[in-house]
């Protein structure tokens, strides 16, 4: 089985994915890391030098490649992945795939992202919690219809990673 973790920035897709991998003895793939490895440059540099259209084409291509695998994999995708190139349908139509939306409220995301914004070019310019909250609200509104298509929804608000893992396992098995 391939478990695809989707959700907004800072929802814990990578950190939860790595812990879930250990719990289930699955392989772990972060789609952005895979793209960086295959393109031999950071996602930021792919955007800068080749543009978003190129990045989204590569993202869709590598997503399809991973979903063809017969291995047990936890796949963490970028926050925008489900929203482009019919990727959400690709995920939902794959026969041995379960999609999980790591769902968080805007206040939870804003607080987490304000602390981590330096590592995220999309939000590095945002200075206050109010600005971050407004940005996420608008952005999440555009993406929520894609995220909500996931087969399983797990709330992360106010939970430790181990509790989130437990919720995921209860939903899966």
11 is in an annotated binding site: yes
56 is in an annotated binding site: yes
Hunting for tokens 């489900």 — which residue is that? 82
32 is in an annotated binding site: yes
Give the HSE-up count for residue 150: Cα atoms under 13 Å, Cβ half-sphere.
Answer: 27
120 is in an annotated binding site: yes
* DSSP-derived 3-state class of residue 173: coil
CA distance 171 to 125: 38
85 is in an annotated binding site: no
Torsion of CA 52, 28, 150, 112, to 10 degrees: -70
Burial class (CB in 10 A: 0-12, 13-18, 19+), 131: middle
78 is in an annotated binding site: no
115 is in an annotated binding site: no
Give bridge partners of residue 76 from the DSSP assignment.
5, 30
- Judged by phi (left if over 0) then psi (alpha if -120 to 50, else beta), residue 158 lies in left
| R_g of the chain, CA atoms, integer Å | 16
105 is in an annotated binding site: no
21 is in an annotated binding site: no
Feature table: binding site for Mg(2+)? 14
Feature table: binding site for substrate? 32, 56, 79, 143
Feature table: binding site? 10-15, 32, 56, 79, 120, 143
Feature table: binding site for ATP? 10-15, 120
């Amino acid at each position: 089985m391939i478990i695809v973790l989707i959700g907004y920035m800072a929802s814990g897709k990578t950190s939860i994915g790595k812990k879930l991998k250990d719990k289930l003895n699955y392989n772990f793939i972060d789609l952005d890391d895979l793209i960086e490895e295959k393109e031999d440059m950071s996602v930021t540099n792919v955007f800068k030098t080749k543009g978003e259209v190129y990045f989204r084409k590569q993202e869709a291509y590598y997503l399809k490649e991973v979903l063809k695998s017969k291995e047990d994999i936890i796949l963490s995708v970028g926050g925008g992945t489900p929203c482009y190139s019919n990727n959400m349908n690709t995920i939902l139509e794959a026969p041995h795939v379960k999609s999980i939306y790591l769902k968080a409220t805007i206040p939870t995301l804003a607080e987490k992202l304000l602390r981590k914004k330096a590592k995220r070019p999309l939000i590095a310019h945002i200075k206050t919690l109010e600005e971050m909250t407004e940005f996420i609200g608008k952005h999440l509104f555009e993406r929520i219809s894609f995220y909500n298509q996931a087969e399983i929804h797990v709330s992360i608000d106010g939970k430790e990673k181990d509790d989130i893992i437990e919720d995921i396992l209860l939903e899966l098995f």
